Amino acid sequence: MTELFAILDATDADARRLHDRLARAAASEGLLDVAYRTVDSPYGPILLARTDAGLVRLAYAVQDHDAVLSELAARISPRVLRTSAGLDDAARELEEYFTGRRRTFEVPLDLRLARGFRAAVLAELRRVPYGSTTSYTALATAAHRPKAIRPTATACASNPLPVVVPCHRVIHKDGNPRGYAGGSGVKLALLTLEGAV
Residue positions annotated with a catalytic role: 167
Sign of CA dihedral 103, 106, 111, 115: positive
The DSSP element (H or E) to which 59 belongs, if any, is strand 55-60
**Alpha carbon distance 19, 25 (integer Å):** 10
Give the orientation angle of helix 149-157 with respect to helix 116-125, to 10 degrees.
80
Q: Residue 167, exposed/middle/buried by CB under 10 A (0-12, 13-18, 19+)? A: buried
Q: Is 119 helix (H, G, I), strand (E, B) or coil?
A: helix
